[in-house]
Amino acid sequence: MGERRVLLAPLDPVHDVGLKMVKRALDEAGHATILLPPDLPVEEIVRRAVEHQVDTVLVGRTLGYNVPEELARLVDVMEATGLRSRVRLGVGGMAVRPELAAELGFDRGFGPGTTPAEAVAFVEGRDYQPPAPGEGGRKPDLTAGYSYRVHDPGIARTLETIAAGTVAWARERTTPGVERARIRRQLLAADPGSGAELRQEYLTHCDPRIQAFYREGVPAGRTRPLRREEILALESAAGARRLEPLRLRHRRSRPAVFVQYGTGCPLMDIAHNRVGEGWGADGLVHFDPSWSARCEGLMEGYHTHEEDGSLLTLENLSAVGAARQPWTLWQVRAHRGLNTPETVVLAAAAGADLTKVNMVYGSLGAGTDPGRLLVDGVECLALAAEFGLPLDVVTNEELCGVPAAKAFAGMLIVAAIAVHLGARPLLQPLFCLSPDVMVNGQMDDNFLDYNAAKVHALRAIMDAPIWPGAPIGFLTHTEDRVQSAVTTALHAALASSLDVDAITIASTDEAYSGGAIAAASRVDTLRATAEAFRFFGSAGMAPTGRAREWAGELVEAIGRILEAVLARGTLEVALYQGLLGGPGDGAYPGRAGRGTVSRR
């Protein structure tokens, strides 16, 4: 790349800061620059361009008034002087847009938000490549580089014993959920049309509502099949243009930011996901209807759901997954209900990148029978390992009132089972104003210390990726959108400052919408988060000494709880007896699927 001679001319009464920024970048790139003072007449600027024999003229214009006339005159005089065949001409400034630059006859226009690198690329005659999202335009691997080593040998032994025992216990058992997953895999592998017998077998493990769907075509829940034109629209959405997203992170490469979707309608999901991706989200989390988690069996085909949560079918999932950007991570959650193993099968078949499993939360906070979910969950984790799907282990039981230490003990057990089975878990502590904290006051002063303590504690125990969620700032949102955006952004900044691997954020209306979420509210928190990342850069937040103290207390408590679980014999019994959260903590062993576990 040869040195270029560049004339920088503020065609403005005073403003020249943008041009000076561009000059610095050009100087650093080794080009020769001449910066003129503001407010010179057009003829004078052209005269200087001739005298200095420049090959690029960059004009700056900030003021919005009388822009076109002066700039057009400059372009015309340059042309008439014969310079336009060898001098490239660019204009930048607050009042400039590409269309205006084209109308005025400039080779390029640089509006607000231009980076100096763009101007350098123009001067050097290169196409400007904005930094690619993800890892060079591909998906990052959030679990890369983690060993899953448990640092304390005692805790390591305890976790491994519980994990091995639970896997052995579960492997002697089966459930309708495990059977359906097996049959679904066979159905997916079977030739189209040849699955009649398999389907019959599948239906013997299903809820009557699902049987009615397959036998009589009656859609379950408040759903309806998509119409032909809706399906065509879905297919064309998959081929839609690549986005050039806004940049969310500033200097750091972590955390990846996930947003949640589940409007009920796959088309709407795609639209919402585009918004999220356009405003810089790195990942999407699929939400399914809550009734479906309590209903044995999954439907097939394209379906829309009238209420929140998008139906888990291979078709729905594939359409939404295919419409994402190549760098976007996509998580399909399997964590809590009666269809968990089958969900992992569908997620893998639809090309998902991640799933989510936590038998402890699912059985203590989400209404599924502990024994049933343990058997299903172990199958889930084995499938996730087989399909190479990393998974997060969420600790939403904290929202019921379970203290962090118990929730973390449960999370670590599930993570240990996952590792035992060869899967790659991510730990998902909540960054939230949890009921336990509200009662016991750990956040009376600030939100930093206790959230930081959680991350410190987990890191002290296991070398595993950490993904605060889900979403961060739970219970700190109000009906006020600005307040909700600010609190999300501050929690995101804390997560970034703690150098965690990922976060999930909510829209500003998620907590109070009482129904559909507005796309604009997604933009609120994404923009606010970007602003917080920009504000802190690679600087950090400073929790007080309490954070380390609490972390130490958490580690100790977790160790004690794990010992107690081990002493109880099986994880199933420990769950029923409330060792990882009991009625006093607002946790109740669930009933869905009770009595459906059978011995192999």
Taking the C-alpha atoms of residue 253 and residue 301, their distance in angstroms, rounded to an integer, is 38
The closest alpha carbon to 586, from 411, 436, 454, belongs to 436
Task: Give the helix, strand, coil percentages of the chain, each rounded to 5.
Answer: 50, 15, 40
Taking the complex as a whole, the smallest distance from the CB of residue 80 to other proteins amounts, in Å, to 4
Task: Kindly state the number of chain residues that form the binding site for ligand B12, as judged by CB under 6 A.
Answer: 25
CB 295 within 8 A of CB 283: no
User: Applying CB under 6 A, does 119 fall inside the site for ligand B12?
Assistant: yes
Alpha carbon 526 to chain centroid distance? 11
Indicate which of other proteins, ligand B12, none lies near residue 50 (CB less than 5 to 8 Å, by partner kind).
other proteins
Question: What is the amino acid identity at position 122?
Answer: F
525 closest CA partner among 561, 480, 558: 480
Place of tokens 């296991």: 462
What is the distance, to the nearest Å, from the Cα of residue 537 to the centroid of all Cα atoms in its chain? 20
**Least distance to ligand B12 from the beta carbon of 6, Å?**
9
21 touching ligand B12, by CB under 6 A: yes
**What is the contact mask toward other proteins in residues 19 to 48, using x (rule: CB under 8 A)?**
-----------------------xxx-xx-
Among 6, 7, 22, 265, binds ligand B12 (CB under 6 A): 22
Q: Closest distance between ligand B12 and the C-beta of residue 67, in Å? A: 8
CA distance readout (Å), 404 to 68, 523, 563, 585: 62, 31, 17, 11
Asked whether position 129 contacts other proteins by CB under 8 A, the answer is: no
> Strand order in 32-35's β-sheet?
32-35, 5-10, 56-60, 88-92, 108-110
Which CB, 6 or 400, lies closer to ligand B12?
A: 6
Which of the 8 DSSP states describes residue 340? H
**Measured distance CA(204)–CA(173) in Å, rounded:** 18
The enclosing H or E element of 158 equals helix 153-171
Residues 53-112 binding other proteins (CB under 8 A) are: 67-69, 72-73, 75-77, 79-85, 97-109
- Closer CB to other proteins, residue 75 or residue 427? 75
What's the rounded Cα separation, in Å, for the pair 269 and 263?
6
Q: How far is the CB of 101 from ligand B12 (least distance, A)?
A: 10
CA Rg value for the chain = 29
Q: Is residue 140 part of the contact set for other proteins (CB under 8 A)?
A: no
Helix (H, G, I), strand (E, B) or coil at 45: helix
Binding residues for ligand B12 restricted to 72-91, rule: CB under 6 A: 90
Binding mask 292-331 for other proteins (x = CB under 8 A): ----------------------------------------
Output the smallest distance, CB 66 to ligand B12, in A: 10
Could you tell me if 301 and 225 are in contact, meaning their C-beta atoms sit under 8 angstroms apart? yes
Give the 3-state secondary structure of residue 154.
helix
76 binding partner (options other proteins, ligand B12, none; Cβ < 5 to 8 Å by kind): other proteins
93 interacts with, out of ligand B12, other proteins, none, CB within 5 to 8 A per kind: ligand B12
Nearest distance from C-beta of residue 89 to ligand B12, angstroms:
10
19 contact, one of other proteins, ligand B12, none, CB 5-8 Å limit per kind: ligand B12
Does 112 bind ligand B12 (CB under 6 A)? Our answer is yes
Give the count of residues interacting with other proteins (CB under 8 A).
34
The residue written with tokens 């394209």 in the block is 302
User: Of these, 11, 92, 341, 470, which contacts ligand B12 (CB under 6 A)?
Assistant: 92
Q: Does 11 bind other proteins (CB under 8 A)?
A: no
In this chain, which of 34, 50, 94, 557 binds ligand B12, going by CB under 6 A? 94
**Residue choice 62, 174, 340, 363 for contact with ligand B12 (CB under 6 A):** 62
Measured CA to CA in angstroms, residue 462 lies from 156, 159, 285, 557 at distances of 9, 11, 25, 15
Q: Shortest CA distance to 303 belongs to which of 290, 293, 283, 288?
A: 288
Q: Does 5 bind ligand B12 (CB under 6 A)?
A: no
For the CB of residue 337, give the shortest distance to other proteins in the complex, in Å. 46
Question: CA-to-CA distance for 143 and 139, rounded, in angstroms?
Answer: 12
Rule CB under 6 A: which residues touch ligand B12?
13-19, 21-22, 58, 60, 62-65, 90, 92-94, 110-114, 119
Interface with other proteins (CB under 8 A):
42-44, 46-47, 50, 67-69, 72-73, 75-77, 79-85, 97-109
